[in-house]
Chain A
């Protein structure tokens, strides 16, 4: 392994802190954009932060039958999402923590977080909790292989599964459209919609329990536990957006430990995230939520597109 540099450590910590602090802002931005697109005035960009502060201040109400698993899960979830955020290059590629986990391990960390939340949802033994866990795991087993195939396409293009090296390779290539990456991009968008509990697969703003997926799992959480779960969900959206940026729009991410590059990377990231959030709000506004058993078709399509991307790479681009 290479020596750990000071600039790398600073970049790593900045990036992690930035992810943790900016993630609720991204969620707020998406909600605000959606409100605008739907001719509403919207709750304001900072509303997720106010929500977090309110929740942290409240008592945690826990159901009688809850075990220790239920109480530890929000912390573990948050920890997993922080680790995921730490290994996705957002500002620079010189990340000392990046060799710890590559793209496959990233998918593993996200799967760990999902399994932990699903188990916690089953812990109280309510009807909605188990329903949410079952649906979430169904979305998971359909989305996870598709995500892996998307990452494989990028890995085959760049000959590495390390995300930092992938970004370095992909951002140095000339500005041609790779058909495989185009297919992978569509597949990735579909997967991220499903994984982040967005329309058309799930509706983050729903109040109908029977249509819930993610919200049904966290119904029993309250107070600081709910705050952490919400924050982790924001972080997940942030991580997915950053994976998308890293794979498909890596231009602007600083190479190595270049200080000026790092400074320039921040505004680039903010602009890219803002555009991404706007697009997400647009997709959510333009589409309707599907019935739950249409989700396998939706994600099956994503999976096929991702496999197609791999095949196209194997045939046309190698």
Chain B
């Protein structure tokens, strides 16, 4: 008897749960937890990915588990959309788990076994979120995901700022979860049936459909980190251990995108054009905001966290564009924009987890997170440095790596928008394309800064000379993700054919139908005469020319090299402190985008004996939006507190009054 993919996926989730439980057996044994359990978890991830790749081509499978509340059994279902995200989860989790096998070591924080418990619970709950087919399972697993990741974020719970970051994360996660719960409440349309099947079958009035969409955008947006709900991201990511940051950024943010796609394209049938435009505008703001802030960060993990905000922004832009196209029944273009969205989800999962893991290796080797105290690590940590280079170039959206492919698809989708029936939309779209181009170009700036300051140049601190390269497990994990970045970059046609199953299910159109005539080497999303791109041939071309030039120069001239001190225009006394720091590198962005920031500068006087330069860059939104809300909440709670008298007689009186009122009402 063959096992259906759904059951196989459930077995993988069960394996993860079992590993979670086994972690507590010997919580302090690093050998047991890191060398046995985490590699096993990675294998399970690979299994999940292969199951998902089988399932994506098959019709949806559904099942009902006997678990759950008496009247509410667990409904589960696997279809193309969930299979796509399961494949993302499985492959990325495999790389991160292998890395974690080498990364975990006994420390002051949570014991390794307990970390293993939360980590695998986190993985299993993400898998189940993707498999959920009723609101009940969805919310239970969604909350498990939030709580387990909260405990992972606060692994180093002895530090007060980490506890604070964890609290903020939990708070935003729950505000978001409330909105999602309300969204499901609207979606069930008064039937009281919370299965997704019932929601698919019911058709909502336009007002309620819009309410459901906006609640979903808010709720899932809080998880994904769209503006202005992004505040938890730059706090939580640096606080968490690197494999956890990698998983949260790479996969957990994508579950929010999954939820958004599920609600918008699957549970709601009709789309309205301005839904898409709203998402588009929010996404653009998020993308530009994220990348501008990312450029001025001085902590490497905060920099990556802001870059995640940018990428989520780009994903939401693609989503908004596909909603708009779908609303106008332009199915091919909706499929194109959706393909760009899904492709970018996958790309971001790979390069961002790669970079977060690389920062983890750097952190372990140097005990340093501040960019201003790193430098020159390419000599000490060649493995990490060269693999991180792949991730940095990919995230900068440079061909022939993967970040460029999704950017290319997204820009292609924008170039088709003049076909929209609405003139004003047509006018707005070029501005949107310009903002996308700006964000993409800025991300190149950010990545040169990130990579150059950490890995290139000379060590800014003396003790960096003792930094050691990553161990074997960490190298395997990094290499797995880097290979993913390259493969996704050079084989886009094959990947688009897989994504086609999802777009076919969601918007009823695939790109394959349109590009049947095109070649496997050439990505030509709509029409080969209109636009085509072949990263593999481009890569081959660059490599061939580079090699020919190298050989030619060797053959015609010579290969002599002399080593000498750096020239630096003849200035003597060159020290490592003369290099740009992270602040220095971010200075042009601070100047060009000054209105974005709330800056405090402390400059030394000209003849200071011990000059001190300090600049802090903060987010306006924190002061414009969150601080007022916090004040209002504080005032309200103060009012409530007046009820609290601390004397039992007063409380008895409250009970008496309540009873009286109830008797009067219920009479």
Contact = CB atoms under 8 A, between A and B. Distances in A.
Contacts of A78: 545-546, 549
A307 B430 contact: yes
A307 B438 CA distance: 12
A148 to B, nearest CB: 4
B577 to A, nearest CB: 9
Q: What secondary structure prevails in chain B residues at the interface with A?
A: helix
A122 B456 CA distance: 6
Contact of B553 (A126, A144, A224): A224
Given A149-B437, A156-B418, A137 B448 contact: yes
Task: Determine which residue in A78, A100, A119, A307 has the highest number of CB atoms from chain B within 10 A of its CB, and name it.
Answer: A100
B659 interface: no
Interface stretch (B9-17, B528-536, B611-619, B649-657): B528-536
Given A102-B533, A134-B584, A83 B542 contact: yes
Contacts of B587: 134
Given A83-B545, A125-B376, A141-B442, A56 B553 contact: yes
B451 interface: yes
A61 B579 contact: no
B531 A161 contact: yes
Interface residues of A, number: 83
A145 interface: yes
Contact of A155 (B415, B532, B564, B579): B415
Nearest to A117: B448
Contacts of B541: 79, 82-83, 86, 97, 100
A194 B389 CA distance: 27
B451 A119 contact: yes
10 smallest beta-carbon distances between A and B, as pairs: A125-B457, A125-B458, A145-B437, A122-B452, A79-B546, A310-B430, A130-B580, A63-B566, A144-B441, A127-B578
B79 to A, nearest CB: 33
A108 interface: yes
A118 B452 contact: yes
B522 interface: yes
B445 A140 contact: yes
Contact of B399 (A101, A124, A156): A101
Contacts of B546: 75-76, 78-79
A130 B579 contact: yes
Interface string B405-449: 001100110010010000000110111011001101110110111
Nearest to B295: A141
A122 B580 CA distance: 9
B445 A108 contact: no
A118 B456 CA distance: 11
B178 to A, nearest CB: 38
Interface stretch (A34-42, A64-72, A272-280): A64-72
A75 B534 contact: no
A126 B568 contact: yes
Contacts of A104: 407-408, 411-412, 531, 533
Interface in B498-544: 518-519, 521-522, 524, 528-534, 537-538, 541-543
A79 B545 contact: yes
Given A75-B546, A79-B543, A156-B415, A161 B561 contact: no
B550 interface: yes
B221 interface: no
23 contacts: A59-B558, A62-B562, A64-B564, A65-B457, A69-B378, A79-B549, A83-B542, A99-B524, A100-B533, A100-B537, A101-B534, A108-B399, A115-B398, A115-B447, A119-B452, A123-B456, A124-B457, A125-B576, A152-B430, A159-B530, A296-B591, A307-B430, A311-B430
Contact of A162 (B376, B418, B530, B542): B530
B585 interface: yes
A47 interface: no
A152 B447 CA distance: 25
Interface in B557-608: 557-558, 560-569, 571, 574, 576, 578-580, 584-585, 587-589, 591-592
Residue from B399, B407, B426, B447 whose CB has the most chain A CB atoms within 10 Å: B399
A111 B408 contact: no
A315 interface: yes
Contacts of B519: 1
A307 B436 CA distance: 12
Contacts of B588: 134-135, 137-138, 296
Given A83-B542, A102-B533, 14 more contacts: A69-B389, A97-B541, A99-B522, A99-B532, A100-B538, A124-B568, A126-B574, A127-B568, A145-B434, A148-B437, A165-B529, A165-B530, A219-B567, A220-B568
Contacts, number: 274
A65 B441 contact: no
B631 to A, nearest CB: 37
A61 B562 contact: yes
A79 B547 CA distance: 9
A133 interface: yes
Interface string A137-170: 1101110110011001001100111100100000
A112 B560 contact: no
A281 B576 CA distance: 39
Contacts of A228: 549, 553
B319 interface: no
A142 B376 CA distance: 28
B444 A67 contact: no
Contacts of B113: none
Contacts of B243: none
Contacts of A79: 541-543, 545-546, 549
A101 to B, nearest CB: 6
Nearest to A147: B437
Interface in A291-318: 293, 296, 303, 306-307, 310-311, 314-315, 318
B445 A137 contact: yes
A105 interface: yes
A188 interface: no
A246 B399 CA distance: 23
A314 B417 CA distance: 10
B549 A112 contact: no
Contacts of A306: 434
